[in-house]
Protein backbone atom coordinates (compact mmCIF):
# COMPACT_ATOMS: atom_id res chain seq x y z
CA UNK A 1 0.00 0.00 0.00
CA UNK A 2 2.81 2.37 0.79
CA UNK A 3 3.97 2.38 -2.84
CA UNK A 4 0.44 3.03 -4.09
CA UNK A 5 -0.11 5.95 -1.75
CA UNK A 6 3.34 7.38 -2.48
CA UNK A 7 2.86 7.27 -6.24
CA UNK A 8 -0.69 8.62 -6.17
CA UNK A 9 0.06 11.40 -3.70
CA UNK A 10 3.45 12.34 -5.18
CA UNK A 11 2.12 15.42 -6.99
CA UNK A 12 -0.17 16.60 -4.17
CA UNK A 13 1.17 19.74 -2.47
CA UNK A 14 2.27 19.18 1.14
CA UNK A 15 -0.36 21.49 2.58
CA UNK A 16 -3.09 19.44 0.83
CA UNK A 17 -1.70 16.04 1.82
CA UNK A 18 -4.55 15.30 4.25
CA UNK A 19 -7.18 16.11 1.65
CA UNK A 20 -5.44 14.03 -0.99
CA UNK A 21 -5.09 11.10 1.37
CA UNK A 22 -8.77 11.35 2.35
CA UNK A 23 -9.86 11.36 -1.28
CA UNK A 24 -7.64 8.37 -2.02
CA UNK A 25 -9.02 6.36 0.90
CA UNK A 26 -12.61 7.27 -0.05
CA UNK A 27 -12.09 6.15 -3.64
CA UNK A 28 -10.41 2.95 -2.46
CA UNK A 29 -13.28 2.06 -0.13
CA UNK A 30 -15.90 2.98 -2.75
CA UNK A 31 -14.15 0.79 -5.30
CA UNK A 32 -14.13 -2.16 -2.91
CA UNK A 33 -17.84 -1.78 -2.15
CA UNK A 34 -18.92 -1.16 -5.74
CA UNK A 35 -16.71 -3.96 -7.05
CA UNK A 36 -18.22 -6.49 -4.69
CA UNK A 37 -21.73 -5.30 -5.42
CA UNK A 38 -21.20 -5.33 -9.20
CA UNK A 39 -19.60 -8.78 -9.31
CA UNK A 40 -22.21 -10.14 -6.89
CA UNK A 41 -25.02 -8.78 -9.05
CA UNK A 42 -23.41 -10.25 -12.16
CA UNK A 43 -23.18 -13.65 -10.46
CA UNK A 44 -26.70 -13.61 -9.05
CA UNK A 45 -28.11 -12.51 -12.41
CA UNK A 46 -26.69 -15.57 -14.12
CA UNK A 47 -26.88 -18.10 -11.28
CA UNK A 48 -30.61 -18.70 -11.72
CA UNK A 49 -30.09 -20.17 -15.17
CA UNK A 50 -26.66 -21.78 -14.97
CA UNK A 51 -24.60 -21.52 -11.80
CA UNK A 52 -21.30 -22.86 -13.21
CA UNK A 53 -21.51 -20.49 -16.18
CA UNK A 54 -22.28 -17.52 -13.90
CA UNK A 55 -19.29 -18.40 -11.71
CA UNK A 56 -17.03 -18.73 -14.76
CA UNK A 57 -18.25 -15.38 -16.09
CA UNK A 58 -17.51 -13.60 -12.81
CA UNK A 59 -14.09 -15.25 -12.58
CA UNK A 60 -13.31 -14.16 -16.15
CA UNK A 61 -14.27 -10.59 -15.32
CA UNK A 62 -12.08 -10.69 -12.19
CA UNK A 63 -9.12 -12.00 -14.17
CA UNK A 64 -9.60 -9.21 -16.74
CA UNK A 65 -9.68 -6.62 -13.94
CA UNK A 66 -6.53 -8.07 -12.37
CA UNK A 67 -4.75 -8.00 -15.74
CA UNK A 68 -5.74 -4.37 -16.27
CA UNK A 69 -4.52 -3.45 -12.78
CA UNK A 70 -1.22 -5.28 -13.35
CA UNK A 71 -0.66 -3.38 -16.58
CA UNK A 72 -1.51 -0.13 -14.85
CA UNK A 73 0.85 -0.91 -11.98
CA UNK A 74 3.63 -1.70 -14.44
CA UNK A 75 3.15 1.74 -15.98
CA UNK A 76 3.58 3.55 -12.64
CA UNK A 77 6.86 5.36 -12.04
CA UNK A 78 9.42 3.48 -9.95
CA UNK A 79 10.61 5.09 -6.74
CA UNK A 80 14.03 4.46 -5.29
CA UNK A 81 15.49 5.38 -1.94
CA UNK A 82 17.47 8.17 -3.63
CA UNK A 83 14.32 9.84 -4.90
Burial environment of residue 14 by CB neighbours within 10 A (0 to 12, 13 to 18, 19 or more): exposed
Closest CA to 65 of 45, 44, 36: 36
Structural domain that includes position 52: 36-76
Q: Please count the structural domains in the chain.
A: 1
Q: What is the mean pLDDT of the chain?
A: 87
Average pLDDT over residues 29-50: 91
What is the rounded average pLDDT of the residues 22-39?
92
Q: Is 71 inside a domain boundary?
A: yes
User: CA–CA separation, 4 vs 72, rounded Å?
Assistant: 11
Residue 61 has pLDDT above 90, yes or no: yes
Asked if residue 18 is part of any domain, the answer here is no
Strand, helix or coil at 50?
coil
Select the more confidently predicted residue: 14 or 67.
Answer: 67
Domain membership of residue 5 (yes or no) is no
The answer to whether residue 69 sits within a structural domain is yes
Confidence band of 80 (pLDDT split at 50, 70, 90): low
Q: What is the pLDDT of residue 8?
A: 80
Amino acid sequence: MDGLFRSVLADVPTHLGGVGSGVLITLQQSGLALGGATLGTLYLGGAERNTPHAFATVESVQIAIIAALALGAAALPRFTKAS
